[in-house]
Chains A and B, each alone.
Chain A
Protein backbone atom coordinates (compact mmCIF):
# COMPACT_ATOMS: atom_id res chain seq x y z
CA UNK A 1 0.00 0.00 0.00
CA UNK A 2 1.41 3.41 -0.90
CA UNK A 3 2.40 5.51 2.03
CA UNK A 4 -0.19 8.24 2.33
CA UNK A 5 -0.31 8.46 6.08
CA UNK A 6 0.44 12.15 5.81
CA UNK A 7 -1.67 12.98 2.82
CA UNK A 8 -0.40 16.13 1.13
CA UNK A 9 -2.00 16.55 -2.27
CA UNK A 10 0.46 19.14 -3.51
CA UNK A 11 3.32 16.86 -2.56
CA UNK A 12 1.58 13.94 -4.20
CA UNK A 13 1.18 15.89 -7.42
CA UNK A 14 4.79 17.02 -7.24
CA UNK A 15 5.87 13.39 -6.97
CA UNK A 16 3.57 12.55 -9.87
CA UNK A 17 5.18 15.24 -12.01
CA UNK A 18 8.65 14.01 -11.17
CA UNK A 19 7.66 10.45 -11.85
CA UNK A 20 6.01 11.21 -15.19
CA UNK A 21 8.96 13.34 -16.23
CA UNK A 22 11.26 10.42 -15.64
CA UNK A 23 9.03 8.19 -17.75
CA UNK A 24 8.24 10.65 -20.50
CA UNK A 25 10.34 11.51 -23.51
CA UNK A 26 9.57 14.96 -24.85
CA UNK A 27 9.29 14.88 -28.65
CA UNK A 28 10.84 18.34 -28.67
CA UNK A 29 9.84 21.85 -29.61
CA UNK A 30 11.03 21.30 -33.15
CA UNK A 31 8.51 18.52 -33.63
CA UNK A 32 5.73 20.73 -32.29
CA UNK A 33 6.68 23.52 -34.64
CA UNK A 34 6.92 21.12 -37.55
CA UNK A 35 3.50 19.70 -36.77
CA UNK A 36 2.02 23.18 -36.63
CA UNK A 37 3.55 23.98 -39.98
CA UNK A 38 2.48 20.75 -41.59
CA UNK A 39 -1.06 20.84 -40.38
CA UNK A 40 -3.50 21.08 -43.20
CA UNK A 41 -6.77 22.82 -42.97
CA UNK A 42 -9.60 20.50 -42.21
CA UNK A 43 -12.16 23.16 -41.57
CA UNK A 44 -11.57 25.24 -44.62
CA UNK A 45 -13.20 23.38 -47.43
CA UNK A 46 -11.64 22.02 -50.55
CA UNK A 47 -11.79 25.14 -52.67
CA UNK A 48 -9.87 27.18 -50.14
CA UNK A 49 -7.43 24.36 -49.71
CA UNK A 50 -6.94 24.06 -53.43
CA UNK A 51 -6.42 27.75 -53.92
CA UNK A 52 -4.06 28.21 -51.03
CA UNK A 53 -2.16 25.00 -51.58
CA UNK A 54 -1.67 25.71 -55.24
CA UNK A 55 -0.41 29.21 -54.82
CA UNK A 56 1.54 28.22 -51.76
CA UNK A 57 3.71 26.06 -53.93
CA UNK A 58 4.89 28.69 -56.29
CA UNK A 59 8.62 28.68 -56.37
CA UNK A 60 9.32 32.27 -57.17
CA UNK A 61 7.47 35.34 -56.07
CA UNK A 62 7.88 37.56 -59.06
CA UNK A 63 5.74 40.43 -57.84
CA UNK A 64 4.12 41.20 -61.15
CA UNK A 65 1.70 43.62 -59.59
CA UNK A 66 3.45 46.94 -59.77
CA UNK A 67 2.05 49.73 -57.74
CA UNK A 68 1.23 52.41 -60.20
CA UNK A 69 2.71 55.65 -59.07
CA UNK A 70 -0.59 57.30 -59.90
CA UNK A 71 -2.32 55.30 -57.23
CA UNK A 72 -2.18 57.16 -53.99
CA UNK A 73 -2.82 55.40 -50.70
CA UNK A 74 -6.23 56.08 -49.25
CA UNK A 75 -6.14 58.10 -46.09
CA UNK A 76 -7.40 55.41 -43.73
CA UNK A 77 -8.35 51.79 -43.79
CA UNK A 78 -12.03 50.92 -44.02
CA UNK A 79 -13.68 49.95 -40.78
CA UNK A 80 -13.72 46.24 -39.89
CA UNK A 81 -16.95 44.55 -40.95
CA UNK A 82 -17.79 40.94 -41.80
CA UNK A 83 -18.49 40.17 -45.42
CA UNK A 84 -22.11 39.06 -45.29
CA UNK A 85 -24.83 39.16 -47.91
CA UNK A 86 -25.85 42.67 -46.90
CA UNK A 87 -22.31 43.98 -47.22
CA UNK A 88 -21.85 42.35 -50.60
CA UNK A 89 -25.23 43.64 -51.77
CA UNK A 90 -24.31 47.16 -50.74
CA UNK A 91 -20.96 46.92 -52.49
CA UNK A 92 -22.52 45.71 -55.74
CA UNK A 93 -25.47 48.10 -55.68
CA UNK A 94 -26.30 49.09 -59.25
CA UNK A 95 -24.41 46.12 -60.68
CA UNK A 96 -26.17 43.03 -59.35
CA UNK A 97 -29.36 42.37 -57.46
CA UNK A 98 -29.19 41.64 -53.74
CA UNK A 99 -27.09 38.68 -52.60
CA UNK A 100 -28.24 35.90 -50.33
CA UNK A 101 -26.16 33.44 -48.30
CA UNK A 102 -25.86 30.13 -50.04
CA UNK A 103 -24.86 26.63 -49.07
CA UNK A 104 -22.87 26.33 -52.26
CA UNK A 105 -25.39 26.63 -55.06
CA UNK A 106 -23.49 27.62 -58.15
CA UNK A 107 -20.24 26.65 -56.53
CA UNK A 108 -19.40 24.28 -59.35
CA UNK A 109 -19.16 27.18 -61.78
CA UNK A 110 -16.76 28.92 -59.44
CA UNK A 111 -14.66 25.88 -58.63
CA UNK A 112 -14.26 24.99 -62.31
CA UNK A 113 -14.13 28.55 -63.56
CA UNK A 114 -11.31 30.47 -65.22
CA UNK A 115 -9.87 31.69 -61.91
CA UNK A 116 -9.45 28.16 -60.63
CA UNK A 117 -7.97 27.06 -63.93
CA UNK A 118 -5.62 30.01 -63.80
CA UNK A 119 -4.40 28.93 -60.38
CA UNK A 120 -3.98 25.42 -61.70
CA UNK A 121 -1.14 26.68 -63.85
CA UNK A 122 0.96 27.15 -60.76
CA UNK A 123 3.25 24.34 -59.65
CA UNK A 124 1.98 22.06 -56.93
CA UNK A 125 2.65 23.08 -53.39
CA UNK A 126 5.59 21.52 -51.61
CA UNK A 127 5.02 22.55 -48.02
CA UNK A 128 2.93 25.70 -47.87
CA UNK A 129 2.59 27.56 -44.63
CA UNK A 130 -0.50 26.88 -42.65
CA UNK A 131 -3.08 29.58 -41.85
CA UNK A 132 -4.16 29.72 -38.24
CA UNK A 133 -7.60 31.11 -39.03
CA UNK A 134 -9.97 31.25 -41.93
CA UNK A 135 -13.47 32.11 -43.02
CA UNK A 136 -14.23 28.81 -44.66
CA UNK A 137 -16.05 29.08 -47.95
CA UNK A 138 -18.59 31.89 -47.92
CA UNK A 139 -21.03 31.37 -50.77
CA UNK A 140 -23.59 33.89 -51.98
CA UNK A 141 -26.07 33.90 -54.85
CA UNK A 142 -27.79 36.71 -56.68
CA UNK A 143 -30.09 35.43 -59.38
CA UNK A 144 -27.87 33.43 -61.71
CA UNK A 145 -24.74 34.98 -60.27
CA UNK A 146 -22.67 33.13 -57.68
CA UNK A 147 -19.95 34.39 -55.41
CA UNK A 148 -17.37 32.76 -53.20
CA UNK A 149 -15.17 34.51 -50.63
CA UNK A 150 -12.29 32.96 -48.74
CA UNK A 151 -10.29 34.73 -46.07
CA UNK A 152 -7.26 33.32 -44.30
CA UNK A 153 -5.09 34.58 -41.49
CA UNK A 154 -1.47 33.48 -41.04
CA UNK A 155 -1.33 34.64 -37.43
CA UNK A 156 2.12 35.77 -36.51
CA UNK A 157 3.51 34.89 -39.93
CA UNK A 158 2.94 38.25 -41.60
CA UNK A 159 5.81 37.61 -43.98
CA UNK A 160 4.03 34.50 -45.16
CA UNK A 161 0.97 36.57 -45.99
CA UNK A 162 3.15 39.02 -47.88
CA UNK A 163 4.65 36.20 -49.87
CA UNK A 164 1.27 34.66 -50.51
CA UNK A 165 -0.06 37.97 -51.78
CA UNK A 166 2.80 38.24 -54.22
CA UNK A 167 2.34 34.69 -55.36
CA UNK A 168 -1.38 34.95 -55.92
CA UNK A 169 -1.21 38.22 -57.78
CA UNK A 170 1.79 37.05 -59.77
CA UNK A 171 0.01 33.92 -60.82
CA UNK A 172 -3.19 35.64 -61.88
CA UNK A 173 -1.34 38.43 -63.63
CA UNK A 174 0.51 35.82 -65.60
CA UNK A 175 -2.61 34.08 -66.84
CA UNK A 176 -3.35 34.93 -70.44
CA UNK A 177 -7.06 35.29 -69.86
CA UNK A 178 -6.69 37.74 -66.95
CA UNK A 179 -7.02 41.49 -67.22
CA UNK A 180 -6.26 43.82 -64.35
CA UNK A 181 -9.42 45.79 -63.75
CA UNK A 182 -8.77 47.65 -60.54
CA UNK A 183 -6.24 48.38 -57.87
CA UNK A 184 -6.44 50.17 -54.54
CA UNK A 185 -3.85 50.91 -51.92
CA UNK A 186 -4.46 51.95 -48.36
CA UNK A 187 -1.90 52.60 -45.70
CA UNK A 188 -1.53 48.97 -44.66
CA UNK A 189 -3.74 47.22 -47.18
CA UNK A 190 -3.98 46.69 -50.89
CA UNK A 191 -6.34 45.10 -53.36
CA UNK A 192 -6.28 44.16 -57.00
CA UNK A 193 -9.16 42.96 -59.14
CA UNK A 194 -9.15 41.01 -62.36
CA UNK A 195 -11.54 39.97 -65.09
CA UNK A 196 -10.82 36.44 -66.27
CA UNK A 197 -12.46 35.23 -69.45
CA UNK A 198 -13.30 31.67 -70.29
CA UNK A 199 -13.21 30.08 -73.76
CA UNK A 200 -17.00 30.22 -73.83
CA UNK A 201 -16.88 33.98 -73.48
CA UNK A 202 -18.06 34.09 -69.87
CA UNK A 203 -16.17 36.41 -67.58
CA UNK A 204 -15.34 35.89 -63.95
CA UNK A 205 -14.36 38.72 -61.64
CA UNK A 206 -11.83 38.24 -58.89
CA UNK A 207 -10.70 40.48 -56.05
CA UNK A 208 -7.61 39.74 -54.03
CA UNK A 209 -6.93 41.71 -50.86
CA UNK A 210 -4.12 41.74 -48.36
CA UNK A 211 -3.58 43.44 -45.03
CA UNK A 212 -1.21 42.42 -42.27
CA UNK A 213 -1.21 38.67 -41.88
CA UNK A 214 -4.41 38.16 -43.84
CA UNK A 215 -5.30 37.38 -47.43
CA UNK A 216 -8.78 37.43 -48.95
CA UNK A 217 -10.09 36.28 -52.29
CA UNK A 218 -13.56 36.92 -53.62
CA UNK A 219 -14.78 35.89 -56.99
CA UNK A 220 -18.06 36.33 -58.81
CA UNK A 221 -19.34 34.40 -61.80
CA UNK A 222 -22.32 34.85 -64.09
CA UNK A 223 -22.88 38.46 -63.10
CA UNK A 224 -23.99 41.17 -65.55
CA UNK A 225 -21.22 42.77 -67.61
CA UNK A 226 -19.35 44.97 -67.18
CA UNK A 227 -18.51 45.73 -63.56
CA UNK A 228 -19.07 49.45 -62.93
CA UNK A 229 -15.86 51.01 -61.62
CA UNK A 230 -17.49 52.24 -58.38
CA UNK A 231 -18.70 48.70 -57.68
CA UNK A 232 -15.28 47.28 -58.39
CA UNK A 233 -13.82 49.64 -55.80
CA UNK A 234 -16.64 49.02 -53.33
CA UNK A 235 -16.18 45.25 -53.44
CA UNK A 236 -12.46 45.70 -52.82
CA UNK A 237 -13.23 47.93 -49.84
CA UNK A 238 -15.72 45.43 -48.45
CA UNK A 239 -13.12 42.69 -48.74
CA UNK A 240 -10.55 44.73 -46.81
CA UNK A 241 -13.17 45.49 -44.18
CA UNK A 242 -13.81 41.77 -43.85
CA UNK A 243 -10.10 41.00 -43.56
CA UNK A 244 -9.91 43.45 -40.67
CA UNK A 245 -12.87 41.97 -38.82
CA UNK A 246 -12.07 39.29 -36.20
CA UNK A 247 -15.56 37.91 -36.78
CA UNK A 248 -14.46 36.81 -40.24
CA UNK A 249 -12.27 34.04 -38.94
CA UNK A 250 -12.67 30.75 -37.25
CA UNK A 251 -9.73 29.06 -35.71
CA UNK A 252 -8.36 26.53 -38.15
CA UNK A 253 -6.38 24.96 -35.36
CA UNK A 254 -9.25 24.61 -32.98
CA UNK A 255 -11.78 23.49 -35.51
CA UNK A 256 -9.62 21.07 -37.33
CA UNK A 257 -6.92 20.40 -34.82
CA UNK A 258 -9.07 19.79 -31.81
CA UNK A 259 -11.27 17.41 -33.68
CA UNK A 260 -10.38 13.87 -32.92
CA UNK A 261 -10.61 13.12 -36.60
CA UNK A 262 -9.30 15.17 -39.44
CA UNK A 263 -11.91 13.88 -41.84
CA UNK A 264 -15.01 14.48 -39.78
CA UNK A 265 -17.43 16.98 -41.23
CA UNK A 266 -17.89 19.71 -38.71
CA UNK A 267 -20.44 22.45 -38.20
CA UNK A 268 -19.80 25.64 -40.11
CA UNK A 269 -19.28 28.58 -37.80
CA UNK A 270 -20.84 30.93 -40.30
CA UNK A 271 -23.74 28.54 -40.75
CA UNK A 272 -24.21 28.39 -37.00
CA UNK A 273 -24.12 32.17 -36.78
CA UNK A 274 -26.84 32.33 -39.41
CA UNK A 275 -28.91 29.75 -37.55
CA UNK A 276 -28.75 31.88 -34.41
CA UNK A 277 -29.83 35.01 -36.26
CA UNK A 278 -32.59 36.88 -34.46
CA UNK A 279 -31.74 35.52 -31.03
CA UNK A 280 -29.48 37.24 -28.54
CA UNK A 281 -27.31 34.27 -27.70
CA UNK A 282 -24.23 34.08 -25.50
CA UNK A 283 -22.29 32.31 -28.21
CA UNK A 284 -19.17 34.13 -29.32
CA UNK A 285 -18.06 33.87 -32.89
CA UNK A 286 -14.39 33.84 -33.68
CA UNK A 287 -11.34 31.88 -32.87
CA UNK A 288 -10.30 30.46 -29.52
CA UNK A 289 -7.20 32.60 -29.39
CA UNK A 290 -6.83 33.35 -25.74
CA UNK A 291 -8.43 30.52 -23.88
CA UNK A 292 -10.10 27.32 -24.90
CA UNK A 293 -13.84 27.13 -24.40
CA UNK A 294 -14.87 26.10 -20.94
CA UNK A 295 -16.13 22.68 -20.14
CA UNK A 296 -19.71 22.04 -19.26
CA UNK A 297 -20.59 22.19 -15.58
CA UNK A 298 -22.57 18.99 -15.96
CA UNK A 299 -21.00 15.58 -16.01
CA UNK A 300 -22.31 13.97 -19.15
CA UNK A 301 -20.06 11.01 -19.47
CA UNK A 302 -22.22 7.95 -19.29
CA UNK A 303 -24.36 8.49 -22.36
CA UNK A 304 -21.59 8.06 -24.93
CA UNK A 305 -19.91 5.06 -23.37
CA UNK A 306 -21.43 2.61 -25.87
CA UNK A 307 -20.36 4.53 -28.95
CA UNK A 308 -18.19 3.05 -31.65
CA UNK A 309 -16.60 6.32 -32.59
CA UNK A 310 -16.75 9.98 -31.88
CA UNK A 311 -15.34 13.31 -32.83
CA UNK A 312 -15.72 16.88 -31.82
CA UNK A 313 -14.38 20.36 -32.09
CA UNK A 314 -14.79 23.77 -30.63
CA UNK A 315 -17.38 25.98 -32.30
CA UNK A 316 -16.51 29.63 -32.18
CA UNK A 317 -14.97 30.94 -29.01
CA UNK A 318 -17.21 29.21 -26.49
CA UNK A 319 -19.19 26.51 -28.23
CA UNK A 320 -18.70 22.80 -28.59
CA UNK A 321 -19.80 20.44 -31.34
CA UNK A 322 -19.59 16.68 -30.91
CA UNK A 323 -20.65 13.72 -32.92
CA UNK A 324 -20.87 10.05 -31.95
CA UNK A 325 -21.70 6.89 -33.85
CA UNK A 326 -23.36 3.96 -32.11
CA UNK A 327 -23.72 0.34 -33.16
CA UNK A 328 -27.39 0.78 -34.09
CA UNK A 329 -30.12 3.40 -34.39
CA UNK A 330 -31.70 1.95 -31.26
CA UNK A 331 -28.46 2.34 -29.33
CA UNK A 332 -28.14 5.90 -30.58
CA UNK A 333 -31.69 6.69 -29.54
CA UNK A 334 -31.02 5.26 -26.10
CA UNK A 335 -27.83 7.26 -25.81
CA UNK A 336 -29.58 10.47 -26.82
CA UNK A 337 -32.23 9.81 -24.19
CA UNK A 338 -29.53 9.20 -21.59
CA UNK A 339 -27.78 12.45 -22.49
CA UNK A 340 -31.08 14.28 -22.09
CA UNK A 341 -31.56 12.61 -18.74
CA UNK A 342 -28.07 13.56 -17.60
CA UNK A 343 -28.79 17.17 -18.46
CA UNK A 344 -32.20 17.09 -16.81
CA UNK A 345 -30.71 15.61 -13.65
CA UNK A 346 -27.57 17.78 -13.62
CA UNK A 347 -27.10 18.99 -10.07
CA UNK A 348 -25.01 21.98 -11.13
CA UNK A 349 -27.53 23.24 -13.66
CA UNK A 350 -30.74 21.33 -14.23
CA UNK A 351 -31.85 21.68 -17.82
CA UNK A 352 -35.40 22.07 -19.09
CA UNK A 353 -35.96 20.02 -22.20
CA UNK A 354 -38.33 20.13 -25.12
CA UNK A 355 -38.33 18.90 -28.69
CA UNK A 356 -38.58 20.92 -31.89
CA UNK A 357 -39.21 19.59 -35.39
CA UNK A 358 -36.61 20.45 -37.99
CA UNK A 359 -37.42 21.26 -41.58
CA UNK A 360 -35.89 17.95 -42.57
CA UNK A 361 -38.48 16.00 -40.62
CA UNK A 362 -36.24 15.10 -37.69
CA UNK A 363 -36.39 16.38 -34.15
CA UNK A 364 -33.89 18.37 -32.18
CA UNK A 365 -33.97 18.13 -28.40
CA UNK A 366 -33.33 21.51 -26.83
CA UNK A 367 -31.95 21.57 -23.28
CA UNK A 368 -31.72 24.93 -21.54
CA UNK A 369 -30.42 25.76 -18.08
CA UNK A 370 -30.31 29.29 -16.69
CA UNK A 371 -27.80 30.79 -14.34
CA UNK A 372 -24.07 31.24 -14.26
CA UNK A 373 -23.45 27.63 -15.22
CA UNK A 374 -26.33 27.44 -17.65
CA UNK A 375 -25.89 26.02 -21.09
CA UNK A 376 -27.99 25.44 -24.14
CA UNK A 377 -27.74 22.09 -25.90
CA UNK A 378 -29.22 21.03 -29.20
CA UNK A 379 -29.20 17.26 -29.65
CA UNK A 380 -30.08 15.42 -32.84
CA UNK A 381 -30.20 11.66 -33.27
CA UNK A 382 -30.26 10.40 -36.81
CA UNK A 383 -29.88 6.70 -37.51
CA UNK A 384 -26.91 5.40 -35.54
CA UNK A 385 -25.53 8.89 -34.97
CA UNK A 386 -25.97 11.50 -32.29
CA UNK A 387 -24.67 15.03 -32.71
CA UNK A 388 -24.97 17.97 -30.40
CA UNK A 389 -23.96 21.59 -30.04
CA UNK A 390 -23.45 23.18 -26.65
CA UNK A 391 -23.10 26.90 -25.94
CA UNK A 392 -23.43 29.05 -22.81
CA UNK A 393 -26.95 30.12 -21.90
CA UNK A 394 -28.13 33.66 -22.44
CA UNK A 395 -30.85 35.73 -20.82
CA UNK A 396 -33.54 34.19 -22.99
CA UNK A 397 -33.99 30.65 -24.29
CA UNK A 398 -33.63 30.13 -28.03
CA UNK A 399 -36.81 30.52 -30.05
CA UNK A 400 -38.02 27.31 -31.65
CA UNK A 401 -37.26 28.73 -35.07
CA UNK A 402 -33.60 29.08 -34.05
CA UNK A 403 -33.56 25.57 -32.60
CA UNK A 404 -35.05 24.17 -35.80
CA UNK A 405 -32.33 25.89 -37.82
CA UNK A 406 -29.60 24.58 -35.50
CA UNK A 407 -31.16 21.11 -35.71
CA UNK A 408 -30.99 21.29 -39.48
CA UNK A 409 -27.34 22.27 -39.24
CA UNK A 410 -26.54 19.29 -37.01
CA UNK A 411 -28.53 16.96 -39.25
CA UNK A 412 -26.60 18.11 -42.29
CA UNK A 413 -23.30 17.50 -40.57
CA UNK A 414 -24.43 14.03 -39.54
CA UNK A 415 -25.52 13.32 -43.09
CA UNK A 416 -22.20 14.54 -44.43
CA UNK A 417 -20.35 12.30 -42.01
CA UNK A 418 -22.47 9.33 -42.90
CA UNK A 419 -21.76 9.98 -46.58
CA UNK A 420 -18.04 10.27 -46.01
CA UNK A 421 -18.09 7.07 -43.97
CA UNK A 422 -19.80 5.26 -46.80
CA UNK A 423 -17.11 6.57 -49.11
CA UNK A 424 -14.53 4.95 -46.88
CA UNK A 425 -13.06 8.06 -45.33
CA UNK A 426 -13.94 7.04 -41.82
CA UNK A 427 -15.24 9.86 -39.67
CA UNK A 428 -13.65 9.11 -36.37
CA UNK A 429 -11.52 6.86 -34.31
CA UNK A 430 -12.60 3.79 -32.46
CA UNK A 431 -13.90 4.20 -28.95
CA UNK A 432 -14.12 0.57 -28.20
CA UNK A 433 -10.68 -0.01 -26.78
CA UNK A 434 -11.01 1.76 -23.47
CA UNK A 435 -14.15 2.16 -21.46
CA UNK A 436 -14.54 5.45 -19.61
CA UNK A 437 -13.51 5.17 -16.01
CA UNK A 438 -16.10 5.51 -13.26
Chain B
Protein backbone atom coordinates (compact mmCIF):
# COMPACT_ATOMS: atom_id res chain seq x y z
CA UNK B 1 0.00 0.00 0.00
CA UNK B 2 1.41 3.37 -1.02
CA UNK B 3 1.57 6.45 1.13
CA UNK B 4 -1.47 7.98 -0.49
CA UNK B 5 -3.54 4.90 0.18
CA UNK B 6 -2.31 4.77 3.76
CA UNK B 7 -3.28 8.40 4.24
CA UNK B 8 -6.64 7.76 2.65
CA UNK B 9 -7.23 4.80 4.93
CA UNK B 10 -6.44 6.89 7.99
CA UNK B 11 -8.76 9.60 6.73
CA UNK B 12 -11.50 7.07 6.10
CA UNK B 13 -11.21 5.57 9.54
CA UNK B 14 -11.21 8.98 11.21
CA UNK B 15 -14.20 10.36 9.35
CA UNK B 16 -16.44 7.38 8.65
CA UNK B 17 -18.69 7.71 11.67
CA UNK B 18 -19.56 11.33 11.03
CA UNK B 19 -20.13 10.68 7.35
CA UNK B 20 -22.42 7.72 7.87
CA UNK B 21 -24.28 9.63 10.57
CA UNK B 22 -24.99 12.49 8.15
CA UNK B 23 -26.37 10.05 5.62
CA UNK B 24 -28.35 8.22 8.28
CA UNK B 25 -29.95 11.43 9.51
CA UNK B 26 -31.43 11.82 6.07
CA UNK B 27 -32.22 8.26 5.06
CA UNK B 28 -33.12 6.72 8.40
CA UNK B 29 -31.69 3.41 7.22
CA UNK B 30 -28.29 2.20 8.33
CA UNK B 31 -27.71 0.09 5.23
CA UNK B 32 -28.57 2.92 2.87
CA UNK B 33 -26.47 5.34 4.90
CA UNK B 34 -23.47 3.01 4.73
CA UNK B 35 -23.88 2.65 0.99
CA UNK B 36 -24.11 6.39 0.48
CA UNK B 37 -21.12 7.02 2.70
CA UNK B 38 -19.05 4.37 0.97
CA UNK B 39 -19.96 5.88 -2.39
CA UNK B 40 -18.75 9.25 -1.19
CA UNK B 41 -15.38 7.75 -0.26
CA UNK B 42 -15.18 5.96 -3.59
CA UNK B 43 -15.55 9.33 -5.24
CA UNK B 44 -13.01 10.88 -2.94
CA UNK B 45 -10.22 8.46 -3.76
CA UNK B 46 -9.65 9.50 -7.41
CA UNK B 47 -9.48 13.10 -6.19
CA UNK B 48 -7.45 12.37 -3.12
CA UNK B 49 -4.40 14.40 -4.15
CA UNK B 50 -6.64 17.44 -4.54
CA UNK B 51 -8.72 16.82 -1.44
CA UNK B 52 -5.62 16.70 0.71
CA UNK B 53 -5.08 20.36 -0.10
CA UNK B 54 -8.40 21.24 1.50
CA UNK B 55 -8.59 22.38 5.10
CA UNK B 56 -11.13 19.66 5.84
CA UNK B 57 -11.36 16.87 3.25
CA UNK B 58 -14.00 15.28 5.46
CA UNK B 59 -16.35 18.17 4.74
CA UNK B 60 -16.22 17.33 1.05
CA UNK B 61 -17.09 13.70 1.74
CA UNK B 62 -19.89 14.64 4.13
CA UNK B 63 -21.33 17.03 1.60
CA UNK B 64 -21.26 14.41 -1.13
CA UNK B 65 -22.78 11.82 1.18
CA UNK B 66 -25.49 14.17 2.41
CA UNK B 67 -26.40 15.23 -1.09
CA UNK B 68 -26.47 11.64 -2.25
CA UNK B 69 -28.67 10.72 0.68
CA UNK B 70 -31.06 13.56 -0.02
CA UNK B 71 -31.20 12.70 -3.69
CA UNK B 72 -31.99 9.09 -2.91
CA UNK B 73 -34.53 10.02 -0.30
CA UNK B 74 -36.19 12.27 -2.85
CA UNK B 75 -36.67 9.36 -5.12
CA UNK B 76 -37.99 7.43 -2.20
CA UNK B 77 -36.63 4.10 -3.10
CA UNK B 78 -33.30 3.58 -1.51
CA UNK B 79 -33.51 2.02 1.85
CA UNK B 80 -35.12 -1.28 1.14
CA UNK B 81 -33.36 -1.63 -2.13
CA UNK B 82 -29.95 -1.11 -0.63
CA UNK B 83 -30.70 -3.24 2.34
CA UNK B 84 -31.89 -6.03 0.14
CA UNK B 85 -29.06 -5.65 -2.34
CA UNK B 86 -26.17 -4.96 -0.05
CA UNK B 87 -26.67 -7.56 2.61
CA UNK B 88 -28.89 -10.40 3.63
CA UNK B 89 -31.63 -9.51 6.08
CA UNK B 90 -30.00 -9.50 9.43
CA UNK B 91 -31.15 -8.85 12.88
CA UNK B 92 -28.97 -5.85 13.50
CA UNK B 93 -29.31 -4.03 16.80
CA UNK B 94 -32.05 -1.44 16.68
CA UNK B 95 -31.12 2.21 16.89
CA UNK B 96 -31.58 3.94 20.18
CA UNK B 97 -35.08 5.32 20.65
CA UNK B 98 -33.73 8.86 20.78
CA UNK B 99 -32.07 8.31 17.43
CA UNK B 100 -35.25 6.90 15.96
CA UNK B 101 -37.23 9.82 17.31
CA UNK B 102 -34.78 12.36 15.94
CA UNK B 103 -34.61 10.80 12.48
CA UNK B 104 -38.36 10.38 12.35
CA UNK B 105 -38.81 14.00 13.30
CA UNK B 106 -36.24 15.13 10.75
CA UNK B 107 -37.98 13.23 7.99
CA UNK B 108 -41.20 15.04 8.74
CA UNK B 109 -39.58 18.42 8.07
CA UNK B 110 -39.48 20.14 4.70
CA UNK B 111 -36.40 19.01 2.85
CA UNK B 112 -34.65 22.39 2.88
CA UNK B 113 -34.96 22.62 6.67
CA UNK B 114 -33.78 19.05 7.13
CA UNK B 115 -30.85 19.63 4.82
CA UNK B 116 -29.86 22.76 6.72
CA UNK B 117 -30.11 21.03 10.10
CA UNK B 118 -28.05 18.04 9.03
CA UNK B 119 -25.41 20.08 7.23
CA UNK B 120 -25.07 22.48 10.16
CA UNK B 121 -25.45 20.38 13.28
CA UNK B 122 -24.05 17.09 12.03
CA UNK B 123 -21.82 17.74 9.01
CA UNK B 124 -20.38 20.77 10.74
CA UNK B 125 -20.80 23.39 8.02
CA UNK B 126 -21.19 27.02 9.00
CA UNK B 127 -24.21 29.02 7.96
CA UNK B 128 -22.06 30.82 5.40
CA UNK B 129 -20.81 27.55 3.96
CA UNK B 130 -24.31 26.16 3.68
CA UNK B 131 -25.49 29.36 2.01
CA UNK B 132 -22.73 29.00 -0.54
CA UNK B 133 -23.62 25.38 -1.20
CA UNK B 134 -27.32 26.08 -1.47
CA UNK B 135 -26.83 29.28 -3.43
CA UNK B 136 -29.03 31.27 -1.11
CA UNK B 137 -28.55 34.14 1.35
CA UNK B 138 -27.26 33.34 4.82
CA UNK B 139 -30.49 34.72 6.19
CA UNK B 140 -32.39 32.00 4.36
CA UNK B 141 -30.21 29.34 5.94
CA UNK B 142 -30.69 30.86 9.38
CA UNK B 143 -34.42 30.95 8.80
CA UNK B 144 -34.44 27.31 7.74
CA UNK B 145 -32.43 26.36 10.81
CA UNK B 146 -34.69 28.36 13.05
CA UNK B 147 -37.89 27.00 11.54
CA UNK B 148 -36.50 23.49 11.49
CA UNK B 149 -35.53 23.62 15.12
CA UNK B 150 -38.86 25.10 16.05
CA UNK B 151 -40.62 22.34 14.16
CA UNK B 152 -38.55 19.69 15.92
CA UNK B 153 -39.48 20.89 19.37
CA UNK B 154 -43.03 19.54 19.53
CA UNK B 155 -41.96 16.44 17.64
CA UNK B 156 -39.26 15.70 20.19
CA UNK B 157 -41.12 17.11 23.14
CA UNK B 158 -38.36 19.47 24.14
CA UNK B 159 -37.22 23.04 24.09
CA UNK B 160 -34.59 24.35 21.68
CA UNK B 161 -31.35 25.55 23.11
CA UNK B 162 -30.64 28.72 21.25
CA UNK B 163 -29.05 29.90 18.06
CA UNK B 164 -27.01 27.93 15.54
CA UNK B 165 -23.73 26.91 17.04
CA UNK B 166 -21.38 26.81 14.08
CA UNK B 167 -22.19 30.15 12.47
Instruction: List residues of A whose CB falls within 8 A of some B CB.
Output: 1-10, 12-13, 15-33, 35-36, 39, 130, 132, 155-157, 253-254, 257-258, 260, 289-292, 294-295, 297, 299, 301, 304-305, 307, 310, 312, 348, 372-373, 392, 429-438
> Contact between A156 and B21 (Cβ–Cβ < 8 Å)?
no
Known: A2-B97, A156-B48. A348 touches B161 (CB 8 A): no
> Contact between A292 and B63 (Cβ–Cβ < 8 Å)?
yes
Q: Main SS of the interface on chain A?
A: loop
Known: A257-B42, A297-B134. A20 touches B95 (CB 8 A): yes
Distance between Cα atoms of A55 and B79 in the complex (Å): 39
Distance between Cα atoms of A188 and B144 in the complex (Å): 50
Find chain A residues with CB under 8 A from B93 CB: 22-23
Distance between Cα atoms of A27 and B39 in the complex (Å): 11
> Contact between B20 and A10 (Cβ–Cβ < 8 Å)?
no
> Contact between B63 and A26 (Cβ–Cβ < 8 Å)?
no
CB-based nearest A residue for B45: A36
**Total chain B interface residues with beta-carbon distance under 8 A:** 82
> Contact between A32 and B79 (Cβ–Cβ < 8 Å)?
no
Find chain B residues with CB under 8 A from A130 CB: 46
Instruction: List residues of B whose CB falls within 8 A of some A CB.
Output: 4-5, 8-9, 11-13, 16-18, 20-21, 24-25, 28, 30, 33-34, 38-39, 41-50, 60, 63-64, 67-68, 70-81, 92-93, 95-99, 101-103, 107-108, 110-112, 115, 117, 121-122, 133-137, 140, 149, 152-153, 156-161, 165
Known: A5-B158, A12-B98, A17-B17. A29 touches B8 (CB 8 A): yes
CB-based nearest B residue for A312: B71
> Contact between A297 and B135 (Cβ–Cβ < 8 Å)?
yes
Going nearest first, the 7 A-B pairs with the smallest beta carbon separation are: A7-B158, A4-B158, A29-B12, A436-B76, A32-B41, A156-B49, A17-B21
Q: What is the minimal beta-carbon distance from B141 to any residue of chain A, in angstroms? A: 11
> Contact between A17 and B34 (Cβ–Cβ < 8 Å)?
no
Distance between Cα atoms of A356 and B72 in the complex (Å): 30
Q: What is the minimal beta-carbon distance from A324 to any residue of chain B, in angstroms? A: 8
Distance between Cα atoms of A71 and B77 in the complex (Å): 59
Find chain B residues with CB under 8 A from A392 CB: 135
Find chain B residues with CB under 8 A from A289 CB: 47, 50
Distance between Cα atoms of A433 and B75 in the complex (Å): 10
> Contact between B135 and A13 (Cβ–Cβ < 8 Å)?
no
Instruction: Give 28 CB contacts A-B under 8 Å.
Output: A2-B157, A5-B158, A5-B159, A7-B152, A7-B157, A7-B161, A9-B149, A13-B102, A13-B122, A15-B99, A17-B21, A20-B33, A24-B17, A24-B24, A26-B16, A26-B34, A32-B38, A156-B4, A253-B43, A257-B39, A291-B133, A292-B67, A294-B135, A372-B137, A430-B81, A431-B77, A434-B80, A437-B28
Distance between Cα atoms of A165 and B18 in the complex (Å): 40
Q: What is the minimal beta-carbon distance from A82 to any residue of chain B, in angstroms? A: 22
Q: What is the minimal beta-carbon distance from A139 to any residue of chain B, in angstroms? A: 27
